[in-house]
Amino acid sequence: MRSNLGKRRFHELQNGVALPGSHHAPRAFSLTALRPWAGPNPICDTSFRARMILRVNRISSSIRIPVNDLSRHNAPLRERLSRALECVLESGWYILGPRVAEFESRFATYCGVDQCVGTGNGTDALEIALRACGVGPGQRVITVANAGGYSTGAILATGATPAFIDIEPSTHLLSLDQLHGALSERVGAIVVTHLYGQMAPMHDVMNMADAVGVPVIEDCAQAHGAQLDGRPAGAWGACGCFSFYPTKNLGALGDGGAIVTHDSGLAERVRALRNYGWIEKYRVDVGGGSNSRLDGIQAAVLLEKLPLIDGWNERRRAIARRYSEALADRGIVTCRGAGLDDAVHLFVVRIPNRDTVRQRLAEAGVGADVHYPVPDHLQHAWSSERWARTNLPHTEASCREVLTLPCFPELIDEEIAEVITAFLQVTRC
Ligand SMILES: Cc1ncc(COP(=O)(O)O)c(C=O)c1O
């Protein structure tokens, strides 16, 4: 499992920019010699992007409207969070314990499932879920390649290999045709990512998976509170995996994650796997266990925030509606999935000259980000692997064109108007 420092660097490397509060200077990518077996790599021409990122970084100090602002998010909660942290301090329970158990119970109810098991972070949740579903060496797991590498990393950690499928260009979610094709071969599981807060087409996914008896693991790290036809993210597949990384719709003050499920047997294996494989103290009954537990401080923070998430998501949807209406006339493609019950973790547009637009927005004081610039099969560490030798034209095109605009509940109306004005100005032909 990656250390927290390693995880932060991973996020930065994924995004080419430092996260808020990072001690690391933002850095540009150095992607060379990717996919040597397939000639020039379309994503590999990064010198232009690297120059752009450096320019954006240089003027980022003048950004007035950031993509996200955690200090604004947490400031109104300061007193209640301080009191909650004080209680944990006094309780003497710092890892697992009563606050974690209470959060697990409340979050299970929120997700409409029977069981929730807290983990150290969202990537561990994916790895543990895969292991609990019986995935291991020699198996293949279906996943998309445009979701930041988290599922790919988790699959590889189990000893299995990813079987990438392409995306639907209008939503950036998995393509059902591609899923259908991939299921003609034997696979150990499917990881379905509800990207940007949009629900994947779960009715069809579940029908296809159930027909061949393959477990579905939902990656809900960007979809806290999202629903499809009244059924929450995480309540569709064998289990759902969440991250409570501070920037998430439900974010802790550090790392945290959870696995939710209806299946009590699966939950029991997950409970063991997050705690060395112990069913009982000092007795390893489940192989492949690790140390990945939610701590009392994060649980206390999450308990304070849980009652507020629906209001925050409503505000995110209102912001997304304003952007969508304003950009529709200009023919700008926005990534919106099933819509109404979308958690709008990120508001993403597609734009051909993305890097130039991002730079001009920065010059106008408006932050923008890229989720995500490099598809998993073209990542430097993985691109020469046999399982990475695949063509995913829609995934690759989206990674060249996606741009994330500021969208967080505390964004005020004047700022939304300013983002729209700046965006329309810099994208004017
Ligand atoms: C879609 C997705 N999956 C998984 C993760 C991993 O979560 P964590 O950073 O808590 O390991 C993230 C978050 O960063 C994510 O956005």
User: Pocket of ligand 1, candidates 2, 143, 150: which has the most ligand atoms within 8 Å of its Cβ, to mutate?
Assistant: 150
Residue 341's pLDDT is 86
Give the pLDDT mean for 209-213: 97
Q: Which atom of ligand 1 is nearest to the CA of 244?
A: 10
Minimal-distance CA residue to ligand 1 atom 15 = 221
Distance from Cα 364 to the centre of ligand 1, integer Å: 30
Distance from Cα 339 to the centre of ligand 1, integer Å: 22
Say how many residues make up the chain: 429
Residue 336's pLDDT is 67
Distance from Cα 284 to the centre of ligand 1, integer Å: 28
Residue 340's pLDDT is 65
Residue 10's pLDDT is 40
What are the start-end ranges of the H helices in 353-407? 354-363, 393-401
17: pLDDT strictly greater than 50: no
State the DSSP H helix or E strand holding residue 205, giving kind and residue range, or none if neither.
Answer: helix 202-212
Distance from Cα 340 to the centre of ligand 1, integer Å: 23
Q: Give the chain's mean pLDDT.
A: 88
Minimal-distance CA residue to ligand 1 atom 7 = 122
**Span of 42-46, 206-210, 309-313 with lowest mean pLDDT:** 42-46
Minimal-distance CA residue to ligand 1 atom 8 = 122
Pocket, ligand 1, Cβ cutoff 6 A: 7, 121-123, 147-148, 150, 193, 219, 221-222, 243, 245, 255, 257
Distance between CA atoms of 102 and 295, rounded to whole angstroms? 12
Residue range(s) occupied by CATH 3.40.640.10 in the chain:
74-307
Q: How confident is the model at residue 377 (pLDDT cuts 50, 70, 90)?
A: very high
Q: Which two tokens stand for residue 414?
A: 């004047």
CA torsion, points 223, 245, 189, 198, in degrees to nearest 10? Answer: 20
User: Pocket of ligand 1, candidates 193, 243, 253, 404: which has the most ligand atoms within 8 Å of its Cβ, to mutate?
Assistant: 243
24: pLDDT strictly greater than 70: no
Nearest to 308 by CA among 362, 394, 249: 249
Q: Which atom of ligand 1 is nearest to the CA of 124?
A: 11
Cβ contacts of 216 within 8 Å, gap of 6 or more: 189, 190, 192, 205, 206, 209, 236, 237, 238
Question: Domain 36-69+308-426 class?
Answer: alpha beta
User: Pocket of ligand 1, candidates 3, 11, 245, 402: which has the most ligand atoms within 8 Å of its Cβ, to mutate?
Assistant: 245
320: pLDDT strictly greater than 70: yes
Each residue's pLDDT tens digit, 334-352: 776 445 689 999 999 999 9
Q: Which atom of ligand 1 is nearest to the CA of 243?
A: 10
Q: How confident is the model at residue 331 (pLDDT cuts 50, 70, 90)?
A: confident
Residue range(s) occupied by CATH 3.90.1150.10 in the chain:
36-69+308-426
Residue 354's pLDDT is 96
Q: How confident is the model at residue 56 (pLDDT cuts 50, 70, 90)?
A: low
Q: How confident is the model at residue 48 (pLDDT cuts 50, 70, 90)?
A: low
Please give the DSSP secondary-structure letter assigned to residue 259. E
Distance from Cα 330 to the centre of ligand 1, integer Å: 32
Distance between CA atoms of 319 and 412, rounded to whole angstroms? 9
26: pLDDT strictly greater than 70: no
Distance between CA atoms of 298 and 89, rounded to whole angstroms? 12
Residue 328's pLDDT is 85
**Span of 23-32, 294-303, 320-329, 401-410 with lowest mean pLDDT:** 23-32
Minimal-distance CA residue to ligand 1 atom 12 = 221
CATH fold of 74-307: Aspartate Aminotransferase; domain 2 (3.40.640)
Distance from Cα 221 to the centre of ligand 1, integer Å: 5
Region of 287 on the Ramachandran plot (φ > 0 left; ψ -120 to 50 alpha; else beta): beta
Q: How confident is the model at residue 49 (pLDDT cuts 50, 70, 90)?
A: low
- The vertex-316 CA angle with 312 and 318, nearest 5°, equals 115
The owner of tokens 């501070």 is: 246
Residue 43's pLDDT is 47
Please give the DSSP secondary-structure letter assigned to residue 275. B
Distance from Cα 122 to the centre of ligand 1, integer Å: 5
257: pLDDT strictly greater than 90: yes
Q: Which atom of ligand 1 is nearest to the CA of 195?
A: 1
Residue 51's pLDDT is 57
85: pLDDT strictly greater than 50: yes
Distance from Cα 329 to the centre of ligand 1, integer Å: 33
Which residues is 95 bridged to in the sheet? 295
Distance from Cα 427 to the centre of ligand 1, integer Å: 31
Indicate the residue type of 384. Answer: S
Q: Which atom of ligand 1 is nearest to the CA of 147?
A: 1
Distance from Cα 41 to the centre of ligand 1, integer Å: 26
Distance from Cα 370 to the centre of ligand 1, integer Å: 15
**Span of 33-37, 91-95, 251-255 with lowest mean pLDDT:** 33-37
Minimal-distance CA residue to ligand 1 atom 2 = 221
Angle between helices 354-363 and 47-59 (to 10 degrees): 10
Distance from Cα 106 to the centre of ligand 1, integer Å: 21
39: pLDDT strictly greater than 80: no
